[in-house]
């Protein structure tokens, strides 16, 4: 199974949901705005659970499982590097100190992006079978 | 004691003097000249004779007057001059925005040309649909998040309705996080200037979105692509866009902690291209490589595209559109240093030129052939890299930046494929991600301190100056921007698309992928009259791994 009518209907529902949600945010100070926000979020949630119910019908993709824990570790490494850069702006007051901390933080993030996450995502890749 | 007659005489003299002074004030030299010019201007009868030389059309008679009884005044002329400045800037910004919009056609041709014929319709449709998905998302909320606190641009009349930046206070300073005005372009943002900036920023946003479709081509489920694009246009792009261009915390690095002029990204190597390229990497990691791309030993197979002519024509369309991208980012052609548009346009051309040479010579020298697709990617790499520094560097700097980008894209494509084992059919991660980051960095190196856009940038007086011209702190600001692109934008995109993978599934079934996505996903072949040739053995479904899941 590929693209279906149910998918199209679900996407339409998602668009209505996000539009109503944003309408609610735009008028959040009023009671009607708060109601619209709640309704919009419910519609989006319904559309997502509809997508979830359709997913098993679509056939298996040529993709091995990607271990969630390994991917989470990769994400944490990437974020840790960024946070070091931000903290470094306040830890160091001089340009040289800030530059060194920025480069170290950047290197950590790049290791996460270029090595840790790809290794996690390719751990059970089908081409290895 | 003064008699009644004397008082009357004194009052008469005073009144006469007052009237005389008023009359003198009204008949100032400027007013006299304006009246003379009005009298000398061609009459209706003169204009009825025709004006083949164009010397009689456009005179003082075309200046709108506030009061027809007094005729044209200095105030009328001054108002018209101000409106002309804004009009020139509106027209400039809109036309360059139209050029950027046309880049969508270039992206569609490049990406489809680099994909196999069985996926042509699907790839074209993604590039087509992303325009609607992005535009809609940006209208309902994305623009408000990005530009909802960006008031103060004098080129477009001030944009005062956009005055709602939400900020947090940290270490005694206010740091902008997101805008709040402009959802649905309603309320006070129903404003002529806001409409112009919306159009211009929208087409930039859509460029970022369409980059992702290239890296995920030939296996991205159309439904998930649609939802992912809406969310990227609504949140991912606008958040970073606000931090860099909407008055957010990256732009405030200069005013708040003295890092150069804050994070500087003239036309979007970071905001547009790196955001698109890093999101492309996030999706490509989750979605996995195409069937047959990698062998069991980890070596890769080349999966050739179906139309190199479409690729190269598409590259030219993109290069043409880039004249909107970079020079248009002045947001005006009149006042505030905007005459630098000529320099920006030349820098753009030059970097594309040297980028082409960089990639072509690298491939020719190392691989033996001047690879056409990589030459095209070299052009794009040079253009991507010069996007951030185009407004701040001289032509020598632009040429070097483009040349480095041309080589870098070749090295990056090899690294992404051979070391990271990420399948990117069109090289989008390298062209836009890697070279986008290089472009951001190059501002901190090559900015020559000669640009002057109204005397300040990001609220800091002076010109943007890089390390090679004496300001190391600008390089630190750029590094913080790069770290944020990788640490925040990539992570945000990865987690968002991971969630979508759980609920929707990012990838089509193996069965659909092998058949080609045109029929299963689109219901129609891109080229129904073509006779498909059998694919190479490594792309056939009798592979062990594929058989196991199909």
> Does the reported pTM lie above 0.95?
no
| Cβ contact, residue pair A25, B483, below 8 Å | no
Asked, for residue B471, whether it belongs to a domain, the answer is yes
Q: Which structural domain range is residue B445 located in?
A: 80-158+185-511
Contact status, residue B447 vs residue B469, Cβ threshold 8 Å:
yes
Measure the CA angle with vertex B132, ends B126 and B136; round to 5°.
140
Asked, for residue B468, whether it belongs to a domain, the answer is yes
In this prediction, residue B535 carries a pLDDT of: 76
User: CA-to-CA distance for B109 and B305, rounded, in angstroms?
Assistant: 11
Chain A interface includes B473 (CB < 8 A): yes
| Cβ contact, residue pair B140, A18, below 8 Å | yes
Residue B12's pLDDT band, with cuts at 50, 70 and 90, is low
Chain A interface includes B549 (CB < 8 A): yes
Q: What is the mean pLDDT of residues B366-389?
A: 96
| Cβ contact, residue pair A3, B257, below 8 Å | no
Contact status, residue B365 vs residue B358, Cβ threshold 8 Å:
no
Q: What is the mean pLDDT of residues B411-440?
A: 97
pLDDT above 90 coverage of chain A, percent: 84
- Indicate whether B550 pLDDT > 50: no
Q: What is the pLDDT of residues A13-70, one digit of tens each?
A: 999 999 999 999 999 999 999 999 999 999 999 999 999 999 888 888 988 899 999 9
In this prediction, residue B441 carries a pLDDT of: 98
User: CA-to-CA distance for A37 and A27, rounded, in angstroms?
Assistant: 9
In this prediction, residue B461 carries a pLDDT of: 93
Residue B28's pLDDT band, with cuts at 50, 70 and 90, is confident
- Indicate whether A76 pLDDT > 90: yes
Asked, for residue B550, whether it belongs to a domain, the answer is no
Q: Which of A90-94, B122-126, B386-390 has the lowest mean pLDDT?
A: A90-94
CATH number at residue B219: 1.10.3430.10
User: CA-to-CA distance for B267 and B442, rounded, in angstroms?
Assistant: 13
In this prediction, residue B1 carries a pLDDT of: 47
Asked, for residue B549, whether it belongs to a domain, the answer is no
CA distance to partner chain A, nearest, from residue B545 (Å): 5
Q: What is the pLDDT of residues B99-121, one digit of tens each?
A: 999 999 999 999 999 999 999 99
Average pLDDT taken over every residue of chain A: 94
Asked, for residue B228, whether it belongs to a domain, the answer is yes
Least CA distance to A95: which residue of chain B? B473
Q: Which of B502, B504, B549 sits opposite A62 (nearest CB)?
A: B549
In this prediction, residue B536 carries a pLDDT of: 76
In this prediction, residue B530 carries a pLDDT of: 78
**Boundaries of every domain in chain A:** 5-58, 68-124
Q: What is the pLDDT of residues B46-72, one digit of tens each?
A: 999 999 999 889 999 999 999 988 889
In this prediction, residue B200 carries a pLDDT of: 97
Q: How far is CA B153 from CA A14, B161, B204, B270, B364, in A?
A: 35, 11, 18, 21, 47
Residue B18's pLDDT band, with cuts at 50, 70 and 90, is low
Number of folded domains in chain B? 1
Residue B8's pLDDT band, with cuts at 50, 70 and 90, is low
Q: How far is CA B389 from CA A59, B329, B345, B442, B451, in A?
A: 47, 11, 12, 7, 11
- Indicate whether B485 pLDDT > 50: yes
Question: What are the φ and ψ backbone dihedral angles of B413, each rounded to 5 degrees?
Answer: -60, -45
Structure tokens at B361: 């010579």
Contact status, residue B525 vs residue B280, Cβ threshold 8 Å:
no
Asked, for residue B115, whether it belongs to a domain, the answer is yes
Say what the ipTM of the complex is.
0.97
| Cβ contact, residue pair A90, B548, below 8 Å | no
pLDDT higher for B220 or B534? B220
Average pLDDT taken over every residue of chain B: 92
Q: What is the pLDDT of residues B73-88, one digit of tens each?
A: 999 999 999 999 999 9
Q: What is the pLDDT of residues B226-262, one digit of tens each?
A: 999 999 999 999 999 999 999 999 999 999 999 999 9
């Amino acid at each position: 199974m590929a693209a279906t009518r149910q998918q199209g209907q679900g996407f339409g529902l998602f668009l209505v949901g996000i539009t109503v949600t944003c309408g609610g945010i735009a008028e959040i100070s009023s009671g009607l705005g708060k109601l619209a926000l709640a309704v919009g979020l419910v519609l989006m949630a319904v559309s997502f659970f509809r997508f979830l119910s359709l997913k098993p019908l679509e056939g298996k993709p040529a993709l091995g499982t990607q271990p969630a824990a390994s991917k989470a570790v990769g994400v944490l490494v990437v974020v840790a590097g960024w946070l070091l850069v931000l903290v470094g702006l306040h830890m160091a007051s001089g340009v040289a100190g800030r530059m060194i901390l920025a480069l170290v933080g950047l290197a950590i993030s790049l290791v996460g992006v270029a090595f840790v996450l790809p290794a996690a995502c390719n751990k059970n890749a089908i081409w290895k079978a | 004691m003064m008699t009644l007659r004397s008082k009357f005489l004194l009052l008469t003299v005073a009144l006469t003097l007052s009237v005389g002074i008023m009359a003198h004030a009204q008949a100032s030299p400027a007013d006299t000249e304006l009246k003379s010019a009005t009298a000398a201007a061609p009459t209706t009868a003169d204009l009825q004779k025709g004006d083949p030389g164009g010397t009689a059309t456009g005179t003082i008679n075309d200046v709108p007057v506030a009061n027809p009884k007094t005729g044209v005044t200095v105030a009328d002329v001054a108002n018209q001059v101000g409106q002309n400045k804004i009009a020139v800037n509106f027209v400039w910004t809109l036309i360059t925005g139209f050029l950027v919009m046309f880049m969508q056609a270039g992206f569609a041709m490049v990406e489809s040309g680099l994909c196999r014929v069985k996926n042509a319709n699907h790839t074209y449709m993604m590039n087509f649909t992303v325009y609607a998905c992005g535009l809609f998302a940006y209208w309902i909320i994305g623009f408000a998040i990005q530009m909802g606190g960006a008031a103060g641009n004098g080129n477009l009349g001030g944009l005062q309705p956009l005055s709602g930046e939400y900020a947090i206070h940290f270490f005694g300073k206010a740091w902008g996080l997101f805008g709040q005005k402009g959802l649905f372009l309603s309320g006070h943002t129903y404003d002529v200037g806001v409409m112009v900036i919306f159009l211009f920023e929208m087409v930039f946003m859509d460029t970022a979105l369409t980059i992702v479709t290239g890296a995920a081509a030939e296996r991205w489920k159309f439904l998930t692509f649609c939802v992912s694009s809406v969310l990227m246009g609504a949140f991912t792009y606008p958040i970073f866009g606000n931090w860099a261009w909407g008055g957010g915390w990256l732009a405030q690095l200069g005013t708040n902690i003295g890092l150069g002029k804050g994070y500087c990204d003239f036309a979007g190597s970071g905001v547009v291209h790196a955001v698109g390229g890093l999101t492309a990497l996030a999706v490509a990691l989750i979605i996995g490589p195409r069937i047959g791309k990698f062998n069991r030993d980890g070596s890769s197979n080349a999966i050739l595209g179906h139309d190199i002519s479409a690729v190269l024509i598409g590259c030219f369309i993109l290069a043409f559109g880039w004249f909107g991208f970079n020079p248009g980012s002045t947001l005006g052609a009149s006042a505030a240093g905007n005459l630098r548009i000529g320099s920006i346009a030349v820098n753009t051309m030059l970097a594309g030129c040297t980028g082409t040479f960089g990639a072509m010579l690298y491939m020719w020298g190392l691989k033996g052939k001047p690879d056409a697709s990589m030459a095209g990617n070299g052009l794009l790499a040079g253009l991507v890299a010069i996007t951030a520094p185009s407004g701040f560097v001289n032509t020598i700097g632009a040429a070097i930046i483009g040349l480095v980008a041309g080589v870098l894209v070749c090295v990056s494509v090899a690294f992404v494929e051979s070391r990271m084992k990420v399948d990117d059919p069109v090289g989008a991660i390298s062209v836009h991600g890697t070279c986008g980051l290089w472009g951001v960095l190059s501002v901190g190196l090559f900015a020559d301190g000669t640009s002057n856009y109204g005397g300040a940038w990001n609220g800091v007086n002076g010109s943007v100056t890089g390390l090679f011209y004496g300001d190391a702190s600008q390089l630190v600001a750029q590094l913080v921007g790069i770290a944020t692109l990788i640490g925040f934008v990539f992570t945000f995109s990865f987690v968002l698309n991971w969630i979508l993978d759980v609920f929707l599934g990012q990838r089509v079934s193996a069965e659909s992928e092998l058949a080609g996505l045109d029929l299963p996903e689109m219901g129609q072949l891109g080229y129904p009259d073509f006779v498909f040739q059998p694919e190479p053995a490594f792309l056939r479904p009798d592979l062990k791994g594929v058989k196991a899941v199909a």
